[in-house]
């Protein structure tokens, strides 16, 4: 099976942004299937990107969404390589502006693995897929916000709590936003998810909210 290259899509925002949000979509634990334009995980993040780009753009922040080469985590090597490629691309295009990595599910897992990139100032994880094997050392000097619903049956609220507690030992700040009875796919009360994404990203960038 041929594997396509990763791609970056931008969603409005200023021509010369003061900061950037790099969005990372979800995936599967194991799959070598290419991420196509009909991928539900990619489409969900693309929908969110379009929804939040206006608010972030008015604050001088650009939004880009990575499409991985393959749908699966597959041990992490491929997805993290794609994310590091995306960070390099953004740096080449916009210089050393600060970047927040905003990931959903598997995307949040990828985010914490690449948070040690020199451009990254914070990670925002929505319904994240984290475990005891995921690093926190990459968050040294960065901020972390995790938002998770207690009705999530795909990833674990409890594991997110544990990860955030570990992150507090190294991160500049680490916060858990309890989304109550919301589930995994960001569809229920989408406005609340979008609000957390925008507010947490601006907070990580040191931009006043509201």
- Give the predicted TM-score (pTM) of the model: 0.96
5-20, pLDDT tens digit by residue? Answer: 999 999 988 999 999 9
The stretch 80-108 carries a mean pLDDT of: 98
Q: What is the pLDDT of residues 28-50, one digit of tens each?
A: 999 999 998 889 999 999 999 99
Assigned fold of 7-202: Rossmann fold (3.40.50)
Mean confidence (pLDDT) of the chain: 96
pLDDT tier at 118 (50, 70, 90 boundaries)?
A: very high
User: Which phi and psi (to 5°) does residue 112 adopt?
Assistant: -75, -20
| Residue 197 to residue 178: CA distance in whole angstroms | 13
Contact present, 49 and 6 (Cβ < 8 Å) = no
pLDDT at 187: 86
User: pLDDT tier at 210 (50, 70, 90 boundaries)?
Assistant: low
């Amino acid at each position: 099976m041929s594997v396509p290259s990763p791609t970056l899509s931008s969603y409005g925002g200023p021509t010369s942004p003061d900061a950037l949000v790099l969005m990372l979509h979800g995936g599967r634990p194991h799959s070598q299937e290419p991420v196509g334009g009909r991928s539900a995980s990619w489409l969900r993040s693309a929908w969110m990107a379009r929804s939040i780009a206006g608010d972030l753009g008015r604050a001088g922040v650009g939004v880009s969404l990575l499409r991985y080469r393959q749908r699966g985590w597959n041990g992490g090597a491929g997805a993290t390589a794609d994310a590091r490629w995306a960070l390099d691309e953004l740096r080449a295009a916009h210089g050393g502006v600060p970047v927040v990595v905003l990931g959903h599910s598997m995307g949040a897992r990828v985010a914490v693995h690449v948070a040690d990139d020199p451009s990254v100032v914070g990670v925002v994880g929505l319904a994240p897929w984290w475990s005891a094997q995921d690093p926190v050392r990459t968050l040294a000097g960065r901020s972390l916000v995790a938002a998770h619903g207690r009705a999530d049956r795909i990833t674990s609220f409890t594991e997110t709590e544990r990860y955030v507690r570990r992150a507090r030992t190294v991160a500049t700040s680490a916060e858990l936003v309890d989304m109550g009875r919301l589930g995994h796919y960001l569809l229920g009360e989408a406005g609340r998810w979008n609000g957390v994404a925008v507010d947490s990203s601006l907070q990580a960038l040191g931009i006043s909210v509201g």
